[in-house]
Amino acid sequence: MSAIDEGAHLRAADRPNPVGFLDGRDLLERDLLRLWQGRDGNLLDRISHYALVPAGKMLRPLLVLESARCVGGRPEGLARPALALEYLHVSTLVHDDIIDEDDMRRGRPSVQAAFGLASAIVAGDGLLLETFAALTDAPPEDVPAEAVVALVNTTAEAGLSVCRGQLMETELVGDLDCGVERYLAMAGLKTGALFEASCRAGAILGGAPREWIDALGGFGSRLGVAFQIRDDLLAFDGPLALIGKPQESDLHNHRPTLPILLAYQRASAADRERLERAFHEDQPVEKSYAVVSEVLEATGARAAAGEVAAGLIRQAKDRLAALPAGESVLALAEIADYAARRRF
């Protein structure tokens, strides 16, 4: 799977009407702009600014805010720690683009294409460090120091999971037979862990008891994996020309994604061979794409992968039952529904 790139989808010409929670996103983007305004005095801040703005969907900070609200936390002063989770996410995008040699990100040159390899490595490090600076610089006054310590630990451990997932992904490269279970474990680390941490972070900031923190964590981890599967599916959601460069990356880099793994499991011997050739041989990506799309359709693997995502979303929403009913629980459910069906 390629690193999830939300901004490009947001600006897609065929974008449907924005769903409700995107209003919250716009407020967060305003906070982001305010916090980074004038921070252009040195090269590190300029590159970080470039990487962060224009922002993507900012799902992770949105999850922080809605999770805090739904356990009764006051939203004042939460934008800064919420955005810290976005910094961590963007840090992984900056470094992923080096690893994948992706020159485009969110419709413009990626950091390493714009500033070079050395600066991109350092800027990714800077955004990781910015995460922990933002979590501890001026925590909201009504959040006890013990909660801030827990917040830092949760975030650092989630970041470590992302790293483990990234390395596990490199171990799966080229392996069409690695199996659904290993893919799900990898997606759980690479994408699920940060969604989970975002929800846990919000719950911690909101002063939630352990039970609610865990319920929101369980919601987030399943949501994250479902989100990743939808991202895998989006790569085959239309003509290649429309989908654009970033989505070619998985195929180009021989990374097995869930739809491809399911297709491989279900395919006839002849189709398995075609998949293997498309996946392993250095043929033009257009040709591989056409073959893979065809086998996905023939095997029903697209629908099957969609069903796995939908199942995870149902499980995620079940976790919300442990929480007090209210507007924010509805907002979280709405984000989950969006993740299950999103086309952008």
Q: Which residues bind a copy of itself (CB under 8 A)?
A: 42-44, 47, 91-92, 95, 98-99, 117-119, 121-126, 128-133, 135-137, 139, 144-146, 148-150, 152-153, 155-157, 159-160, 163-164, 166-168, 170-171
**Residue closer to a copy of itself, measured from CB, 117 or 325:** 117
Q: How far is the CB of 216 from a copy of itself (least distance, A)?
A: 20
110 Cβ contact partners less than 8 Å away, ≥ 6 residues apart:
94, 97, 102, 103, 104, 120
Q: Write down the least CB distance from residue 100 to a copy of itself, Å.
A: 9
In the bound state with a copy of itself, the residue whose beta carbon lies nearer, of 24 and 81, is: 81
Question: Radius of gyration (Cα) for the chain, nearest Å?
Answer: 20
> Of 246 and 259, which CB lies nearer to a copy of itself in the complex structure?
246
Least distance CB 263 / a copy of itself (angstroms): 26
SS3 sequence of the chain: CCCCCHHHHHCCCCCCCCCCCHHHHHHHHHHHHHHHCCCCCCHHHHHHHHHHCCCCCCHHHHHHHHHHHHCCCCCCCCHHHHHHHHHHHHHHHHHHHHHCCCCEECCEECHHHHHCHHHHHHHHHHHHHHHHHHHHCCCCCCCCHHHHHHHHHHHHHHHHHHHHHHHHHHHHCCCCCCCHHHHHHHHHHHHHHHHHHHHHHHHHHCCCCHHHHHHHHHHHHHHHHHHHHHHHHHCCCCCHHHHCCHHHHHHHCCCCCHHHHHHHHHCCHHHHHHHHHHHHCCCCHHHHHHHHHHHHHHHCHHHHHHHHHHHHHHHHHHHHHHCCCCHHHHHHHHHHHHHHHCCC
Report the residue number, 256 or 259, with the smaller CB distance to a copy of itself: 256
Report the Cα–Cα distance between both ends of the chain, in Å, rounded. Answer: 16
CB of 308 to a copy of itself, least distance (A): 24
Least gap, CB of 109 to a copy of itself (angstroms): 18
Looking at the Cβ atoms of 47 and 79, the one nearer to a copy of itself is 47
Closest approach of a copy of itself to the CB of residue 282, in Å: 19
User: Minimal distance in Å, beta carbon 39 to a copy of itself?
Assistant: 11
CB of 178 to a copy of itself, least distance (A): 15
Q: How far is CA 8 from the centre of its chain?
A: 13
Whose CA is closest to 309, among 161, 162, 180, 173? 180
**Nearest-approach distance from CB 217 to a copy of itself, in angstroms:** 17
Nearer to a copy of itself, 172 or 312 (CB): 172
Closer residue to a copy of itself (CB): 200 or 230: 200
Nearer to a copy of itself, 168 or 312 (CB): 168
CB nearer to a copy of itself: pick between 1 and 312? 1
